[in-house]
């Protein structure tokens, strides 16, 4: 099974000499893996099969942020249901103790896209940062394949279509546009 999400663990603030990060890192990875398993179990249920994990963030102060999305967009009721499943698991196992902060939400339009999100953004304008020399490109997403995207790029002289491999893209974000119609 291909994993489309990423996980982030923030290292604890270190004070004093000789502090060993490995036990903290190992503990945090174990917690993150358990939470991931709980979420994946929920996402295998009917009504959640088009949903996926975008990112999980966990810090040393027992704060967990889970970003999930669905191919058809994620309604708040699904975020609530996922949150309740994680909360039940954490309360039952006391994996983080009795005090923790849990946030489950959609990734938001201002976050970089993960591979699975490109398809639902066909027709939208994207701002892409390429790995090559941090080159920036803006254009309209025309199509998505298993290996990359086709972007319609307009400049002052012409329109051209660029084929970009996912491996060449450092970051892609949807360009937010507001309707300027006056009433």
**Domain layout of the chain by residue ranges:** 6-105, 115-174
Common-topology check for domains 6-105 and 115-174? no
115-174 to CATH, choices 2.30.30.100, 3.40.50.2300, 3.90.1150.180, 3.90.190.10: 2.30.30.100
CA distance 138 to 152: 9
List, as one string, the DSSP characters of 79-112: HHHHHHHHHHHHHHH-BTBS--EEEEE---TTSP
- Quote the pTM value: 0.77
CA distance 149 to 114: 13
Assign domain 6-105 to a CATH class. Answer: alpha beta
pLDDT tens column, 7-58: 444 443 333 444 555 555 666 788 889 999 999 999 999 999 999 999 999 8
Q: What is the pLDDT of residue 11?
A: 40
Q: What is the pLDDT of residue 182?
A: 57
pLDDT tens column, 96-106: 889 999 999 99
pLDDT tens column, 125-156: 999 999 988 899 999 999 999 999 999 999 88
First vs last Cα of the chain: how many Å apart? Answer: 50
């Amino acid at each position: 099974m291909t994993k489309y999400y990423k996980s982030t663990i923030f290292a604890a603030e270190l004070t004093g000499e000789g502090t060993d990060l490995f036990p903290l890192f190992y503990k945090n990875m174990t917690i993150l893996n358990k939470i991931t398993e709980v979420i994946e179990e929920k996402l295998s249920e009917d009504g959640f099969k088009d949903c996926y994990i975008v990112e999980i963030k966990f810090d040393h102060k027992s704060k967990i942020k889970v970003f999930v999305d669905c191919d058809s967009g994620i309604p708040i009721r699904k975020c609530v249901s996922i949150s309740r499943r994680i909360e039940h698991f954490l309360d039952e196992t006391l994996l983080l103790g009795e005090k923790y902060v849990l946030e489950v939400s959609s990734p938001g339009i201002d976050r970089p896209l993960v591979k699975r999100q490109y398809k639902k953004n066909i027709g939208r304008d994207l701002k892409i940062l390429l790995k090559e020399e941090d080159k920036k490109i803006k254009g309209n997403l025309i199509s998505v394949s298993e290996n990359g995207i086709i972007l319609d790029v307009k400049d002052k002289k012409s329109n051209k279509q660029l084929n970009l491999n996912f491996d060449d893209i450092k970051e892609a974000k949807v360009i937010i546009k507001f309707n300027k119609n006056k009433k």
